[in-house]
Amino acid sequence: MSSSTREEVLRHLNTVGQLQPALHKQTHAPAPTEIDHTLFRAYTRTPHDVGGEPDVPIVYHEKEEEVWELNTFATCECLAWRGVWTAEERRRKQNVDVGQTVYLGMPYYGRWLMTAARILVDKQYCTLTELHNKMVELRERAKSGQGLGEYLPAKTKQL
């Protein structure tokens, strides 16, 4: 965009603004011959690519991470160390491939968890059914109070 003219940039921002899912504007799927350069750039814009776009100042404040956030980070780092994914795979799946609604609607580490689940299933480390059953089991353990504040040994799958 460094060689773009002011008019091109404004046209791009206006076109992207029309495609925002939060606006719930009815659009049709254009034929390939109807997609010009401006529309193509707007459709292919990733939600985290906000460089050069107008925005309000962000107020920085210190936030201490919650336990689930720290656990998520540690789990995801272990997945990387074990070769399940690369950092670039994780970033792409949690920032680029999710779409604007999920990107803006989920907490930062929530996207990490969603991405970990997607990659584990996509790469067949577990099935979607196994993942769902484990989530149900953990939800039931939390409801019963079992394991709150105590170490829970991992239950490994026997091959």
What are the residue ranges of helices labelled H in 44-127?
67-81, 87-91, 100-105, 108-122
Number of other CB atoms surrounding residue 14 within 10 Å: 11
pLDDT for residue 142: 80
- The overall longest dimension of the chain from CA atoms, in Å, is 62
Respond yes or no: is residue 108 known to be catalytic.
yes
Of the residues 43, 60, 103, 108, only one is catalytic, namely 108
Closest CA to 107 of 137, 135, 68: 68
> What is 67-144's CATH topology?
Cyclin A; domain 1 (1.10.472)
Choice among 32-36, 54-58, 112-116 with the minimum mean pLDDT: 54-58
Tens-digit pLDDT profile for residues 83-141: 998 888 888 888 878 777 788 788 889 999 999 999 999 999 999 999 999 889 888 88
Domain boundaries, the chain: 6-43, 67-144
d(CA 51, CA 46): 11
pLDDT for residue 140: 87
